[in-house]
Amino acid sequence: MRRLTLEIQRQEKLPENRNLEGGALLKKSLESMLSPRLEEASEEIPSQKSPLPDYVETSGAETKLEIEYFLDLAFHQGLDRAVREVRKSSPFVLDAFHDALAGKLYPELKKRGILK
């Protein structure tokens, strides 16, 4: 969380991000941490019960489990470790992990006052 908070603060100071708030700023920060393999992400964070993005629901069970594994890794062993591991996976899994992580972290970061 500390590293992510620092990255959010760094992204807030960049001129091109001055108009970004909340979920968009979180996604930009995560994108920066997950680069270089992650393409530009959507600026919207879907509200859903499942931590996985809707587009993952049509993928196989193995892919869903892989993404959930990386989410669990991020929350239990740290974001740095999860990022190192997910970079070894497919671009689809990396993008889905990014979206799922942003969806899970946004409410918590907002509650803590890190995001507006």
Q: What integer is the mean pLDDT of 46-51? A: 55
Write the CA distances from 50 to 3, 12, 19, 40, 103, integer angstroms: 25, 29, 29, 23, 10
pLDDT at residue number 63: 92
Q: Please state, in angstroms and rounded to a whole number, the distance separating the CA atoms of residues 40 and 30.
A: 11
Q: Please state, in angstroms and rounded to a whole number, the distance separating the CA atoms of residues 16 and 99.
A: 21
Q: What integer is the mean pLDDT of 66-95? A: 92
pTM, rounded to two decimals:
0.59
Judged by average pLDDT, the poorest of 44-48, 57-61, 63-67 is: 44-48
Q: What integer is the mean pLDDT of 88-105? A: 91
pLDDT at residue number 13: 78
Average pLDDT, the chain: 81
CA atoms within 13 A on the CB side of 44: 5
